[in-house]
Structure 1
């Protein structure tokens, strides 16, 4: 790739056709780039809005060849795109993030080793590959959380265990695949940092985001983070920057952290892409995480984003499309009432059907103050029937 790809003069590709790809496509198109999506689903949200949709498997040679022919630079929209597919594309095209970086994020064992190499603390853990590893687990790691080393997301592939008997049963439940057992720590808060880094090593970051997860799925994000000291925010931003730099990362990277009850900061995991917790940037910042994804992969200037409004983001799952009074009967949520509230910004992902737990959209609320944003968010949550235990 030349020094930079100027708006309107090139095509950009994205591996994956989900909602993150859709929002990337919109951001790229706003700058005049042509967009190409590779995804096997004929109804993929990103494929429906891109200039071109290559419907093929992520490892299909013909599909990858066509994507490389059509695009000057290529990115990915979810972490489970095969790293070898990105490496193949990189033989002829600029790919950001690189396959090697994505491979680290795809494997919890490699990820934790990378955190250690970046001098960022994570929870004590043990790798379990065999019965011998299971028997060798130290008592100090229980109670803990057993996680599959690969393919886990949104709480999937994770089992909480309190004893050795529960640990053995959980490993069997997870089909005895390679796993990581993490010590369960007393958590106070969950936060995340989204960074954008280019090929020259320049990095910009959004403010620290405070997150609430319900059943392993992100439910609420607040910015500015109301429960996090300035010192801890600076530590999180610096840690995320080191993690990105130490793997020569190019693109948008989200790093999730825990704040423990004793005040320590512990890294949890990272995602080599834009993240749910950064969706607020679409309305509360002068540049969104997707704008910076486009800039990082094209070599366009990375400008420090500015938070211009306090904000709160509500994740919208498919459960909202079903009334508890009429199970199985799909309905349309009361969007008209929600949009009557000041500062509400609705983003639906264009998915053809709703189902419980499926990410269907998000609602951003911006206001002149954090208190006003939270007040409106609670009104919106009540209208939608969302839990308000935050």
Structure 2
């Protein structure tokens, strides 16, 4: 469990000094560290890989497996609170850390977010509408279920993101080995939704149960990966009543999961104007990167505030913003952005620009 420190000798942590622990070393962790630094806090990153964007700017980093209980215990002793930068950290790791320090988002939220069927069941249990869905555990389940769907999406319940771990099905392309092709026996079949747009909603909830939300974002995807988010959502796409429903839903979910931290909910806006639950992420979310410049308190600063025990900041938005994801194949677009005066460029410090890899994002004021 090597620890990399800057300086080389690990400094003694003064009790009054807040050191925020970050589970995960990706770009969300990096931007959390940047926000923490602006508020006067240092960060200690715990990640299995030493080649991670967040470790480059962290005060301390521990490279160890998330199942390494000894490393987790040592990590907990060096920090005053822990936040997650992605949701696929083992719940057991969160439980171990929670014995020592406050944690965000908490084990319940983390566990539910890791399983698509559990997410849908949770949403329905508190009265939030979802697309029709059914658990699939074998080919017979799938064949029978498809008799009730004209078109559907078959997904792995665990892992899978940015369009991975899923298959679009109709009666015409359903094959005898469709289930086997997924490589898992824990699947969910969801009815294909006829929607006009996807909206996302973000809530922050502190350890006292106080909550605040940001204006909703409207999202566009390309190749299964978020490409553009615009916020605040235009009223002709997300009517005010729909936005109120979405905000009520994300707050209800935060309460149900006893969240401490930030949580995003993605929802479909159907052609009939209904909001349908898609999925949750109990961490900072790509569709709210615009808050770095566009809101009084960004999603990252708010997470740090919660971890540090500070009051929640204002989430008021300034004007309208467009966030554009820059993937490995989009690097020429990043270079061109330097000539656009209203664009704020956020690079993630990744050395290799691979196709589909998130390298940076652009925030641009559009109104």
Say yes or no: TM over 0.5.
yes
Structure 1 match to 2:341: 342
CA offset at residue 342 of structure 1? Answer: 2.6
What SS class does the counterpart of residue 196 from structure 1 fall into? Answer: strand
Residue in structure 1 matched with residue 256 of structure 2 by the alignment: 246
The reply to whether residue 319 of structure 1 matches residue 329 of structure 2 is: yes
Residue 257 of structure 1: how far off its partner (Å): 0.3
Q: Which residue of 1 aligns with 2:187?
A: 179
Q: How does 1:72-221 map to 2 (within 5 A)?
A: 72-137=80-145, 139-163=147-171, 166=174, 168-221=176-229
Q: 2:357 — aligned with what?
A: 358
Tell me how far 1:176 sits from its aligned partner. 4.0
Which position in structure 2 is the counterpart of 1:372? none
Q: Give the alignment's TM-score, normalised by structure 2.
A: 0.92
Q: 1:311 to 1:65 in 2, by over 3 A?
A: same
Match of 2:7 in 1: none
CA distance in 1, matches of 2:28, 2:221: 19
The CA RMSD measured in Å over matched residues stands at: 1.8
Match for residue 37 of structure 1 among 45, 52, 60:
45
Between the aligned partners of 1:169 and 1:259, the Cα distance in structure 2 is: 33
Preserved contact between residue 134 and residue 168 of structure 1 (Cα < 8 Å): no
Verify: 1:68 aligned to 2:76, yes or no.
Answer: yes
C-alpha spacing 1:91/1:136, structure 2 compared with 1 (3 Å)? same
1:52 is aligned, of 53, 60, 67, to 60
**Partner residue, 1:295:** 305
CA contact (8 A) 2:108 2:258 kept: no
Whether the 8 Å contact between 2:146 and 2:171 is mirrored in structure 1 is: no
CA contact under 8 A between 1:314 and 1:364: conserved in structure 2? yes
1:309 paired with 2:308, answer: no
For 1:283-324, what per-residue CA distance to the aligned partner results, in whole angstroms no more than 9, with x for missing partners? 111110001111122221113311012110110000124xxx
C-alpha contact (below 8 Å) 1:8/1:34 kept by paired residues: no
Structure 2 segments unaligned to the other structure (5+ residues): 1-14
Indicate conservation of the 8 Å contact 1:13/1:73, yes or no. yes
* Deviates most, 295-304 or 167-176: 167-176
Residue deviations 1:65-96, cap 9 Å, x none? 12111011001100111111111111111111
1:234 Cα shift? 0.8
Match of 1:286 in 2: 296
TM value normalised by structure 1:
0.87
Provide the residue aligned with 1:380 in structure 2.
none
2-structure distance, mates of 1:89, 1:112: 27
Structure 1: how far apart are the matches of 2:172 and 2:128?
Answer: 29
Per-residue CA distance 1:234-291 (angstroms, 9 max, x = gap):
1111111111111111101010000011111101000110010010000111110001
- Structure 2 Cα separation of the partners of residues 29 and 195 of structure 1: 22
What SS does the corresponding residue of 1:85 show, helix, strand or coil? Answer: helix
**Greater shift in the superposed pair: 210-219 or 296-305:** 296-305
Q: C-alpha distance in 1, partners of 2:260/2:150?
A: 37
Name the CA distance, whole Å, in 2 between partners of 1:170 and 1:146: 9
For residue 133 of structure 1, report the CA deviation from its aligned partner.
Answer: 2.4
Instruction: Name the SS of the counterpart of 2:177 in structure 1.
Output: helix
Aligned partner of 1:224 in structure 2 is: 232
Contact in 1 for aligned 2:106/2:260 (Cα 8 Å): yes
Contact 2:139/2:177, CA 8 A, preserved across alignment: no
> Residue 3 of structure 1 aligns with which residue?
none
Distance 1:260 1:56, change over 3 A: same
2 CA distance for matches of 1:171 and 1:142?
Answer: 17
How far apart, CA to CA, are the structure 2 residues paired with 1:206 and 1:298? Answer: 20
Is the partner of 1:47 in helix, strand or coil? helix
- Aligned equivalents of 2:279, 2:176: Cα separation in 1: 24
How many residues matched? 352
SS at match of 1:211: strand
